[in-house]
Structure 1
Amino acid sequence: MWREIISSFLYIAIELTVLFVLITFLVSIIQSVVPFHKMEKWLNKGNTLLSALFAVLFAFITPFCSCSTIPMVVTLLRKKVPFGIVMVFLFASPVLDPTILTIMTAMLGWKVALIYTLTTTVLSILIGLSLEKLGFEKQLKNVLLKNYQPENKGLNLKQSVAETLTLIKTVYPFLLIGAAIGAIIHGAVPTSFITQYLGGDNWWLVPVAAIIGIPLYIRLSTMIPISQMMIAKGMALGPVMALLISSAGASLPEVALLNSIFKKKLVAAFVISVISMSTISGFLFYLI
């Protein structure tokens, strides 16, 4: 059993390492040449749908985790970007990441990655704009953000390498943890356990997985190898994706941070929205 766990861990870790380093470096280069002030203008377009699509694009090229998204959210709000557009960015940023999508494609297949991307994009836009229509903008607190101003200084390969190394130091350990957990699941957890308690088409597994994911604070880079092993063991794809999206889209540390800029009603609406997004996505994977 231990030999199988170790060999599985090495295979997953090497594969993820190559993908993680290459894509992270590429994203860093893209970020260095995208002018932030122009992104602000695009997010303030008169056409709401167009601005929402730009918010998703902005989320895609700024691969933040759920907690590191908050300073950017405050910056956008202070620069008078419409509330609904900022909410679209808040929901999309943690779940849409080129590095994660590349890893997801390699481990779960391009169809899963494509459906995941389309689903999270559409739901982020619908939920974000709906919160504005429902008047939740009134639930914002007056918050001043100090010593945070994104700058663009043009293409700088040394800076890109430095940023890549910094991101690797903070994120890569979580990716290895995910590979280790996935390897343990692969080598130690009996297939019968997964199929009996987590497999099948029990609809209630999807909302349960969505709720369980909130307090876990598991990065997507950690969850994907775990998800691969759970699916291989017989767990249905719907609950796996619900767990993956909820654990990435919200977390207890993020909720604590949001409590400093959102009033309680908006914090509750945010958590309910993430659970709803995860649940709807899980059911869609069941249907598709």
Structure 2
Amino acid sequence: MFDWVQHIADWLVYDVLNMQAKSHLAEALNFFIYDSAKILILLFVVIFFMGIVNSYFPIDKVKNYLSRNKLYGLEYLMASAFGVVTPFCSCSSVPLFIGFVRGGIPLGVTFAFLITSPLVNEVAIGLFIGLFGMKTTVLYVISGVLLGTFSGAILQKLNLEHLLTPWVKEVLANAQREQDTFQAEKKTFTERLPVIWREVIKILKGIIPYVIVGIAIGGLMHGYIPEGFFEQYMNKENLFAVPIATILAIPMYSNASGILPVVQVLVAKGIPLGTAIAFMMGVVGLSLPEAMLLKKVMSIKLIGIFFGVVTLCIIISGYLFNLIL
């Protein structure tokens, strides 16, 4: 989908700036340009689309339906399953978070989607089949969906809405006021567009600095942290290899497709598959750039709780993989 963006990034770095291919600085800059353009496009599309959705869909009715009807955890499973078929990475978390919460979706259900979406997608599944076979791929997809489902359910039970930042609470209040106006005046789509557009611009201005800083951190890590640095801590003789692999993954940043070749190398060097997959999930689902982005919408305490629950679930998944495979 974003191949043309990669071509532009390659052209700027290697042709216009004439930087040496494979150098640390070139890889970091290439990553920064590509991810910045991709995320800004996603930001605009997602926020604009959700603005349209929110202008027509009654937030109160959605909230009332989800609070009145006992879905027995299916809402978390459905959100996780939806995350599998969406091509979003962890850096898309801020606009998605805002869009889901503005639409009246409970916080835990939103988390279920945000956890699974970067971990499991159709490209990663295709690569997984080619690298590790169908059995491992099925277990990987199931574990990713269950990880999002259980993490979302746990986070929902903790009632963490009060730990959202004042900025998000203001956005939510504005969304409700706008919708009340739309519903009361029965405005046409053309009449709604200026209001939707103003809200899109307001949200973009609020979060773009966090996005740029987060991607810059990710670019530096992508270009300068050597992959082999982590292998010495993840050998099969180490009983604590899975939690160590998960924690060591946090400074890195990549999507599932980008980290899979690294996982293949780790497995080829004798590292247990469960440990390698825990490392991959940590890279994709837990990263310092993602924490930087989430800082705009969550308090430090909420980010810590979110990362803690996801880390625990990843570690459990890693040990289970090592037992099964």
Q: Tell me how far 1:120 sits from its aligned partner.
A: 1.8
**Residue in structure 2 matching 1:276, options 312, 320, 324:** 312
For 1:270, the aligned partner's letter is F
Q: How does 1:120-131 map to 2 (within 5 A)?
A: 120-131=144-155
Structure 1 counterpart of 2:110: 86
Structure 1 counterpart of 2:125: 101
Asked if 1:119 corresponds to 2:119, the answer is: no
Q: How does 1:88-237 map to 2 (within 5 A)?
A: 88-142=112-166, 143=168, 144=171, 146-147=199-200, 198-237=234-273
Give aligned pairs, total: 216
2:249–2:283 CA contact under 8 A, matched in 1: yes
Asked if 1:250 corresponds to 2:286, the answer is: yes
1:209–1:239 CA contact under 8 A, matched in 2: yes
Q: Tell me how far 1:140 sits from its aligned partner.
A: 1.3
CA displacement 1:95-116 (0-9 Å, x = unmatched): 0211111111111111111111
Whole-angstrom CA distance in 2 between matches of 1:135 and 1:224: 35
Q: Tell me how far 1:232 sits from its aligned partner.
A: 1.2
1:84–1:131 CA contact under 8 A, matched in 2: yes
Whole-angstrom CA distance in 1 between matches of 2:254 and 2:101: 27
CA displacement 1:199-225 (0-9 Å, x = unmatched): 324221110000011110122112111
Where structure 2 has 5 or more consecutive residues not aligned to the other structure, the ranges are 1-48, 173-198, 202-218
Q: In structure 2, the residue corresponding to 1:216 is in which secondary structure? A: coil
CA displacement 1:200-255 (0-9 Å, x = unmatched): 24221110000011110122112111111211121111220111001000211110
Q: Tell me how far 1:57 sits from its aligned partner.
A: 2.5
Structure 1 counterpart of 2:91: 67
Q: In structure 2, the residue corresponding to 1:67 is in which secondary structure? A: helix
Whichever of the two has the greater Rg, that structure is 2
- Change beyond 3 A, Cα 1:235–1:54: same
For 1:101, the aligned partner's letter is I
Q: Tell me how far 1:59 sits from its aligned partner.
A: 1.1
2:119–2:284 CA contact under 8 A, matched in 1: yes
Q: In structure 2, the residue corresponding to 1:64 is in which secondary structure? A: coil
TM-score (norm 2): 0.59
Whole-angstrom CA distance in 1 between matches of 2:139 and 2:237: 19
Where structure 1 has 5 or more consecutive residues not aligned to the other structure, the ranges are 1-34, 149-173
CA displacement 1:86-138 (0-9 Å, x = unmatched): 11111111102111111111111111111111112112111111111112122
CA displacement 1:112-169 (0-9 Å, x = unmatched): 1111111121121111111111121221124238428xxxxxxxxxxxxxxxxxxxxx
1:84–1:128 CA contact under 8 A, matched in 2: yes
1:69–1:93 CA contact under 8 A, matched in 2: no
Q: How big is the alpha-carbon RMSD for the aligned residues of Structure 1 and Structure 2?
A: 3.1
- Change beyond 3 A, Cα 1:131–1:197: closer
Whole-angstrom CA distance in 2 between matches of 1:213 and 1:56: 22
Q: Which runs of 4+ in 1 moved over 4 A?
A: 35-38, 40-45
**Residue in structure 1 matching 2:82, options 39, 53, 58:** 58
State percent identity of aligned pairs.
Answer: 33
- Change beyond 3 A, Cα 1:110–1:71: same
For 2:200, the aligned partner's letter is N
1:42–1:54 CA contact under 8 A, matched in 2: no
Whole-angstrom CA distance in 2 between matches of 1:51 and 1:262: 22
Whole-angstrom CA distance in 1 between matches of 2:233 and 2:128: 25
1:69–1:94 CA contact under 8 A, matched in 2: no
For 2:149, the aligned partner's letter is I
TM-score (norm 1): 0.66
1:246–1:278 CA contact under 8 A, matched in 2: yes
